[in-house]
Structure 1
Amino acid sequence: MQKLHSNQRMSQIVIHNQTIYLSGQVGAIDEDVSAQTLTCLHKVQELLEEVGSDKSKILSATVWLKSMDDFAEMNVVWDEWFADTQPPARACGESALAHSDLLVEVTVIAAA
């Protein structure tokens, strides 16, 4: 098992048995839901590329929205980002996030 970008609370990347687990990725608190979603996905892409994977190898994703009222707007960005590859299995729900101005958080599990 390998853990990268770790601190006392969490690791950004955990690799175990050729499976990559990413911690939740968020955008900037001054961004709208579209921009936060795109920022999350870019962070996911950067982390996956760091360990030799990419978005086509994402197996499962969980999306947390501050409000399900943002579901359609988030999906526009999501659908565009996955337009060139088959999307993963996905769950999406509403949740209080770590900061009151965060609107979306994305976590993924991917193949190495």
Structure 2
Amino acid sequence: MIQRFEVGPRMSELAVHNGVAYLAGQIPEDTSQDIVGQTRQVLEAIDALLAQAGTDKSRILRAEIFLADLTEFAGMNQAWDGWVAAGHTPPRATVQAALAKPDWKVEIVVTAAV
């Protein structure tokens, strides 16, 4: 069985299958913020989706981080380091990417155990 959450006409924000939660790429709502603020918004959205699936950030299996500009890597890490669960840091990849909207500085995709 596959459970889908926040289903839209183009995509769902979250799917759960066989005890694994797959999140869509999460992006910031308020693009006027700097990289730290945008990253915090994205991490809050991830927390909310994981809660819908009955899990949390301590159970993240993998994170993929897309930055519009790698010179903002340190700022993203500042927000990440304040959020990630100590002792439960997941495998992670960070790459520079042309994001769908020019005001987005970061997009994060996670997969977590339920």
Q: TM-score range by the shorter chain?
A: over 0.9
Letter in 1 for 2:23: L
- The residue aligned with 2:67 is 65
Q: Does 1:25 align with 2:26?
A: yes
Give SS of 2:79's match.
helix
Q: CA deviation at 1:98?
A: 1.3
Q: Return the offset for 1:64.
A: 0.3
**Counterpart AA for 2:13:** Q
Q: Which segments of 5 or more consecutive residues in structure 1 lack a partner in the other structure? A: none
Counterpart of 1:16, as a letter, is H
Moved over 3 A (4+): none
Choose from 58, 74, 77 the match for 1:75.
Answer: 77
1:7-31 CA-partner distances (Å, limit 9, x unpaired): 1211101001100000011112111
In the alignment, the residues of structure 2 paired with residue 41 and residue 7 of structure 1 have an alpha-carbon distance, to the nearest angstrom, of 21
TM-score (norm 2): 0.94
1:1-112 matches, cutoff 5 A:
1-27=2-28, 28-112=30-114
RMSD over aligned Cα, in angstroms? Answer: 1.0
Q: CA deviation at 1:51?
A: 1.6
Deviation of 1:84 after TM superposition, in Å, equals 3.3
Instruction: State TM-score, norm by structure 1.
Output: 0.95
* Cα separation, 1, equivalents of 2:13 and 2:85: 26
